[in-house]
A and B are shown apart, each in its own frame.
Chain A
Amino acid sequence: MELEQFCSTSRVLIVAGKGGVGKTTVTASLATTAARAGLSVLIVEVEGKSGLSQAFAKPDLDYEETDLAPGVRARTLTPDHALVDYLESHGLKRISKRLSNTGTLDVIATAVPGMKDILVLGKVKSLERDRAADLILVDAPAAGHAISFLLSPRGLLDAVSVGPIRKQATDVIELLSDPSRCQVLLVTMPEETPVNELVDTAFTLEDRVGIALGPIVVNGCYPEMDLDTDPGEITRDAEAAGVFLSAREAQDLARAAAFRVERQELQRVQTDRLEQRLPLPQIRLPFLFSDDVGPAEIGVLADAFQDGIEAL
């Protein structure tokens, strides 16, 4: 698939996955890939703090938009902020501070489950409507929370029968269930538990939220290498190649090779299993041996992302 085509499938892409699978890294890499294709990208961080700005070597994000890289902007959109924002824009500006100081805001938010989530999604919807960017990437809350986050508008419809909040929920459901406007990109790792949880999340999102799923991103795949795990073979190759190898060196090389071969086999088993249980295309991003995620690493992953998209 052409990169431009992939990036314009829907304006909003929600990136979701279990904690520790590298959701934020994936968001940063996809943003970079899309920006390279000439699109303007806005990343929306809904949990406040994440490694996102660090990945671009920039200071922490704020409610105001900041530039992370050419073509890539980002901002936070935390539930608390969204709630105050909403009250202010609904004629409650004067009392919103008092509401939050007295804890009344917490009481209200508790009375209406998912209200804060709705407000966050409502804000995403207005960013989409205003065409705030060609591509809006939402770095969603970690897995379990992502489901309740995306289910919040339906829950709210049950709890609230009238008023602007209900209208907000209806609008958000419209956005979420329109694949030409919004899709979810699920992220996992090639390991058993993350794969299982991804499959469960995928079915829940399709069945209960009715949201379209984009390709699955499998992050942290060891780049495949064809290696010898027998120290004897390695020593023979060394002789043929004209170098001396001590027995210990041969052992170290063989053990490292055996470890990688085993991991490669495991990840093959897991990606196959994922493919069988969830017939969606996969984009595989490499495990990074060299360094923690920074701008250079995001560049490497963006390359892999582009290859993955073009191979779809």
Chain B
Amino acid sequence: MSDLHSLVDEGHVVICCGSGGVGKTTSAAVLALEGARRGRNAVVVTIDPAKRLANALGLEVLSNTAREIEPERWDPDGCSPGGRLSALMLDTKSTFDGLVKRYAADGTQAGGILDNRFYRNISSALGGTQEYMAMEKLHELHEDGGYDLIVVDTPPTRHALDFLDAPKRITSLLDNRIFRMLMTPTKAGMRVAGIALQTLLRTIGRVVGTAVIDDVVAFFRAFEGMEDGFRERAATVLALLADPGTRFVLVTAPQRDAVDEAVYFADQIAGHGLSVDALIVNRVHPQFGDEHAAGLRARAEHLPGGLREGEAKAAAVRLAKQYENLADFQEISIRERAHLDAIRSKVGTAAVATVPLLPHDVHDFTALSEISEQLFNQNR
């Protein structure tokens, strides 16, 4: 059975995934912090963190290189000898630009691509680019960063594990056959197809404007020759995800919609031949005692004082409210436990850890440490 301790002690890459609003970024930060506390050289890659958490991590702006956080800030007592903690906030566009520069034959080719409007749309507006670049950044940190532990937060996608599919999707876009045929209309046997395509493009041009088509054609012309490099790179990123040193952490909250999403994610991860190593359930309501809600409500209704007058009656009314309140929490607690059981059965031998619903948002290292204690103490 996997557990969270071995995850931060031995894992090399930790991918945190889950739907939006379940505390994914916070969980990623906690895992990296714990790794650093245990003496590892850890980095957390965040995607669009809440402002105050970003500030705590020393991330005022998007930065494409990881910045080390001074140990005094996350380890004021100096009890983590050798550990280092860094953070970065993914800058999708510059990561993509970097990739283009890396695979371009020369500065002219790179410049031609970077200035193209179609490229600018791919690198900033295309759905899936953020996921792809998160994985690309992960690969870069793995290759050149010298980190022992790389924790990656993933964009909150609603449907699929886009970070697993995005590299393939985007490389197939870059590799579009129709447009590549257009680039070489004079090749033997392609002339006829070329003419048909030209007609097609003119028709499309009438709908969206010819300038758009010109941009696309110019892009594919400039991109010529780089497809292979991109495809290979995407393949190595996927290979890194399948590496035994890579662990998947599913983050969720105990509500039906979040749990349904998490179950879906778990199935997707399994479908890619990977497995969930840990499940973190945030925002769990506390449980107070073990009496059933129905019993508590019945008692609230049948207080002897309720039939009397004066102070006895007033006390009964007050007490009834206390019972009603406790009953509310018992109800939600039972429901949350049912959701937890449902998701637990889906993640096999993964470690399961819960974090209570916190009274305050998490935006400093003290709060991150508290969560860390919660997570790691229940997990032996």
Contact = CB atoms under 8 A, between A and B. Distances in A.
Interface of A: 18-21, 24, 47-49, 51, 87, 90-92, 95, 99, 102-104, 106-108, 110-115, 142, 144, 148, 159-166, 191-194, 196-197, 225-228, 234, 236-243, 248-249, 251-253, 255-257, 259-260, 262-263, 266, 289-293
B196 to A, nearest CB: 10
Contacts, number: 198
A266 B358 CA distance: 11
12 contacts: A20-B19, A20-B253, A51-B257, A108-B212, A111-B208, A113-B121, A165-B208, A237-B318, A240-B316, A251-B289, A259-B286, A291-B331
Interface centre among B52, B156, B291, B326, by most chain A C-beta atoms within 10 angstroms, is B326
Contacts of B253: 20
Interface residues of B, number: 72
A115 B127 CA distance: 12
Interface string B174-205: 00111100000000000000000000100110
Contacts of B2: none
B125 interface: yes
B39 to A, nearest CB: 32
A262 B285 CA distance: 13
A112 B122 CA distance: 10
A292 B19 contact: no
A252 B204 contact: no
Nearest to A144: B48
B325 A252 contact: no
A275 B304 CA distance: 44
Nearest to B332: A289
B327 to A, nearest CB: 8
A166 B303 CA distance: 70
Contacts of A259: 286, 288, 329
Contacts of B312: 240-242
Contact of A160 (B172, B212, B323): B212
Contact of B209 (A161, A237, A256, A291): A161
B156 A49 contact: no
- The list of the 4 closest CB pairs from A to B, nearest first, reads A20-B21, A19-B20, A241-B305, A242-B304
A227 B321 contact: yes
A239 B305 CA distance: 9
Given A159-B212, A241-B304, A289-B331, A47 B158 contact: yes
Interface of B: 19-22, 48, 50-52, 117-118, 121-122, 125-126, 156, 158-159, 172-173, 176-179, 200, 203-204, 206-209, 211-213, 215-216, 253, 255-258, 260, 286, 288-289, 291, 299, 303-306, 308, 311-312, 314-316, 318-319, 321-326, 328-329, 331-332, 335, 359-361
A253 B208 contact: no
Contacts of A95: 200, 203
Nearest to A222: B328
B209 A163 contact: yes
A195 to B, nearest CB: 10
Contacts of B299: 243
Nearest to B181: A102
A20 B258 contact: yes
A107 B209 contact: no
Given A20-B22, A159-B212, A197-B50, 10 more contacts: A47-B158, A90-B207, A111-B121, A113-B121, A163-B209, A241-B305, A252-B289, A257-B322, A260-B329, A263-B359
